[in-house]
Amino acid sequence: MRPIFIAFVLGSVFTAPALAQETRPEIVGDAIPQPLVAIRGDPVRGRAIVVDRQVGLCLLCHSGPFPEQRLQGTLAPELAGAGRRWSEGQLRLRIVDAAKANPATIMPPYYRTDGLVRVASAYRGKTLLTAQQIEDVVAFLMTLRD
């Protein structure tokens, strides 16, 4: 079994093109309390990432309060209310690497490159989202209160 809620530091995520001002995402309990970058997340940009089928990919699996999006997934819980159910740090952990909360999850790790096999060459060594994009997504999810 993999350690689940043991606090430790994600090492090799920084094989991704790293921005100088990134901090190392430190897990405390089931959360990453500290933002990954110093610049505050922008919920407007975050929403755009979440609904983009090539960037966030979230709506492949999730549905949510996005009336303009016709095609939404049924593989995962509704995103509506996520900001009420979870703290900012808990949401950050789930986007960075949902397997830390649930080892059997099908939710892709958005900020991890180690432990992945046969990644297509165009994406090899790159995280699904950048640290800044993750902060934007978290800021947006925090606005989903009901």
Partner 1 sequence: MSRQALMRLAHFSLAVLLVAFGFAASATEIPLSERKSGYEFMGPQSRAMQDDDTANPGMLSVFDGEALWNAKTGATNQSCAGCHGDATQSMKGAAARYPAFNASRGRPLDLEGQINLCRADRQQASPFAYESRELLALTAYVARQSRGMPIEPTIDARTQPFLDAGRAIFDLRQGQLNLSCAQCHDDQWGQRLAGTVIPQGHPTGYPQYRLEWQSLGSLQRRLRNCLVGMRAEPYAVGAPEYVDLTLFLMWRARGMKFEAPAVRP
User: Which residue among 47, 92, 94, 100 contacts ligand HEC (CB under 6 A)?
Assistant: 94
126 binds partner 1 per the rule CB under 8 A:
yes
| Cα radius of gyration rounded to whole Å, the chain | 15
Q: How far apart are CA 66 and CA 85, in angstroms?
A: 19
32 binds ligand HEC per the rule CB under 6 A:
no
> Which are the contacts of 112, defined by CB distance < 8 A and separation ≥ 6?
10, 12, 13, 96, 97, 127
109 binds partner 1 per the rule CB under 8 A:
yes
Q: Applying CB under 6 A, which part among 12-20, 21-29, 60-68, 119-127 lies near ligand HEC?
A: 60-68
Q: Applying CB under 8 A, which part among 41-49, 55-63, 88-96, 132-140 lies near partner 1?
A: 55-63
